[in-house]
Amino acid sequence: MSARIIDGKAFAAEIRGRVGEEVARLKAEHGITPGLAVVLVGEDPASQVYVRSKGRHTIEAGMNSYEHKLPADTPEAELLALIERLNEDPAVHGILVQLPLPGHMDEAAVINAISPAKDVDGFHILNVGRLATGQKAMVPCTPLGCLMMLRDLHGDLSGMGAVVIGRSNIVGKPMAQLLLGDSCTVTIAHSRTRDLPGVVKRADIVVAAVGRPEMVKGEWIKPGATVIDVGINRIPAPEKGEGKTRLVGDVDFESAAKVAGAITPVPGGVGPMTIACLLANTLTACCRIHGLPEPEGLTA
Where in the sequence numbering do the catalytic residues fall?
A: 54, 98, 121
Site for ligand GUN contains 98 (CB under 6 A): yes
Q: Cite the beta strand spans of the chain per DSSP E.
A: 4-5, 35-41, 64-70, 94-97, 161-165, 185-189, 205-208, 226-229, 233-236, 245-248, 262-263
Binding-site member from 6, 141, 184, 228 for ligand GUN (CB under 6 A): 141
Q: Which of residues 249-278 bind ligand GUN (CB under 6 A)?
A: none
Size of interface with ligand GUN, in residues (CB under 6 A)? 8
- Segment (H or E) for 163: strand 161-165
Q: How far lies 135's CA from each of 126, 170, 217, 279, in Å?
A: 10, 18, 36, 21
Residue nearest to ligand GUN (CB): 99
Q: Which of residues 118-137 bind ligand GUN (CB under 6 A)?
A: 121
5 or 70: CB nearest ligand GUN: 70
Site for ligand GUN contains 101 (CB under 6 A): no
- Bridge-based pairing of strands 94-97 and 35-41 is parallel
Which residues on neighbouring strands pair with residue 145, listed in sequence order? none
Binding-site member from 51, 83, 96, 165 for ligand GUN (CB under 6 A): 96
Q: Give the residue from 19, 25, 15 showing the smallest Cα distance to 273.
A: 15
Contact by Cβ (8 Å): 249, 269: yes
* Residue 255 neighbours by CB distance under 10 Å: 16
261 or 272: CB nearest ligand GUN: 272
Binding-site member from 5, 70, 80, 99 for ligand GUN (CB under 6 A): 99
264 or 274: CB nearest ligand GUN: 274
Q: Least distance in Å: CB of 46 to ligand GUN? A: 8
- Stretch of 92-100, 174-182, 198-206, 257-265 lying at the interface with ligand GUN (CB under 6 A): 92-100
Which residues on neighbouring strands pair with residue 40, listed in sequence order? 69
In the complex, the residues that contact ligand GUN under the rule CB under 6 A are 96-99, 121, 141-142, 170
